[in-house]
Amino acid sequence: MQNNKVEICGVNTADLKVLTEAEKMDLLKKMHAGDKSARDKLIRGNLRLVLSVIQRFTNRGENLDDLFQVGCIGLMKAIDHFDTSQGVRFSTYGVPMIIGEIRRYLRDNNSIRVSRSLRDTAYKAMKAKEAFLTKHDREPTTDELAAILDIKREDIVLALESVVDPISLYEPVFSDGGDTIYVMDQVGDNNDDNNWIDEIILKQAIHDLSDREKNILSMRFFHGKTQMEVAKEIGISQAQVSRLEKAALQKVKRDL
């Protein structure tokens, strides 16, 4: 990789056009209207985005050509599922999709398989650890983590040791000159009632919900409204909003 010239999969990325956000939105609308050539232009115009993402995985000893191709699959999924009406930048949606596709590839091709439940426990423990550190200005002990999560101490230890590459929630994953995307942006925050569904993943996972459930999640996660504000807007109690929100998130989590 020299002088901004990178050869991957036979493609000289230095010659690739970089689309502006306005061009991306225009091509996305044309694609949704049935213009097949617009999709091809979107893919070619975002290959540098894929390249920027795979730089995070260069120290794993993986073949960059393979990671680039897998990242392109994530890019195509992002293009096909992106909703222009949500008012977010394409990179904000596309980067986590590309990262997710690469991580699935690395997980599935890892000679040491770790169960999904063990990984889930590890990431819950990491999230709880970050929250405890922020609140108490020190890291929690394993016993404190076990008490917070109501999980056996030995299960916490086993889960954390099973994660080969644990990362901080504050680790940056992408920046295109604007707002930096951090790991915590893909997980959730302290107001999520311990649900780790963020607004990016929700956009592709809530299609099977009822109109009222979609409306509540949209106002809560896309527009940042409180449960009380949602309750006033749709004419039900805050307790009903809380119950419907939790039920909808449970459905989404099952789908994921």
Q: What is the CATH number of the domain that holds 219?
A: 1.10.10.10
Same domain, 155 and 195: no
Q: Which one is predicted more confidently, 189 or 59?
A: 59
Beta bridge partners of 5: 2
- Asked whether residue 185 is domain-assigned, the answer is no
Q: Which of 85-94, 108-117, 197-206 has the highest mean pLDDT?
A: 85-94
The tokens for 3 are 């002088």
- Asked whether residue 36 is domain-assigned, the answer is yes
- Domain count for the chain, please give it: 3
Domain end position, chosen among 108, 130, 145: 108
Same domain, 145 and 69: no
- Asked whether residue 181 is domain-assigned, the answer is no
What is the phi-psi region of residue 194: left when phi exceeds 0, alpha when psi lies from -120 to 50, beta otherwise?
left
- Asked whether residue 89 is domain-assigned, the answer is yes
Same domain, 146 and 202: no
Same domain, 104 and 11: yes
Q: Which of 28-32, 164-168, 197-201, 225-229 has the highest mean pLDDT?
A: 28-32
Model pTM?
0.43
Boundaries of domain holding 53:
7-108
Q: What is the pLDDT of residues 40-81, one digit of tens each?
A: 999 888 888 888 888 887 776 677 888 888 989 999 998 988
